[in-house]
Structure 1
Amino acid sequence: MTPEEITTILIDKFGEPLVEHPSEDTWQVDTPEFRLLVIITSDYSGIRLLLPICPASQAQPYLEQLLEANFSSSQLAYYGLHQEVLWGVFSHPLASLTAQDFKNALSELIRLNEEGLSQGFNLFIEKQIRLIVRAAKQQGQSLQATLQSLNRLYAEGMLGGLSQAPQEREQFLAAWKYQLERLWDEES
Structure 2
Amino acid sequence: MTPRELAETLTELFGTTNVQEITSGSWQIDTSTFRLLVLLSEDSNWLRVLLPIVPLQEAQPFLAQFLSANFDDTQEVRYALYDSVMWGVYQHHSGTLVRDDLKNAIARLISLHTAGLNDVFNSLIENRIRQIVQAAKQQGQSLQATMQTLERFYAEGLLGEINQTTETREEVLAAWQRQLERLWHEVESQPE
CA distance in 2, matches of 1:74, 1:48: 16
Runs of 5+ consecutive residues of structure 1 not aligned to the other structure: none
- 2:142 matched to 1:134? no
CA distance in 2, matches of 1:9, 1:167: 51
1:156–1:162: 8 Å Cα contact kept in structure 2? no
Equivalent residue, structure 1, for 2:171? 171
Equivalent residue, structure 1, for 2:110? 110
Equivalent residue, structure 2, for 1:80? 80
Q: What is the letter of the counterpart of residue 186 of structure 2?
A: E
Equivalent residue, structure 2, for 1:16? 16
Summarize deviations over 1:96-145 as a string: whole Å, max 9, x none. 10000011011000000000011111111111111111111111110000
1:33-44 matched pairs, under 5 angstroms: 33-44=33-44
CA distance in 2, matches of 1:95, 1:175: 50
Q: Alpha-carbon deviation of 1:167?
A: 2.2
Aligned residue pairs total 188
Runs of 5+ consecutive residues of structure 2 not aligned to the other structure: none
1:144-163 matched pairs, under 5 angstroms: 144-163=144-163
TM-score (norm 2): 0.94
TM-score (norm 1): 0.96
Tell me the C-alpha RMSD between the 2 structures.
Answer: 1.1
CA distance in 1, matches of 2:115, 2:11: 24
1:66–1:119: 8 Å Cα contact kept in structure 2? no
Equivalent residue, structure 2, for 1:25? 25
Summarize deviations over 1:1-57 as a string: whole Å, max 9, x none. 111111112112212111110222100011121110000011111100000001111
Q: What is the letter of the counterpart of residue 145 of structure 1?
A: A
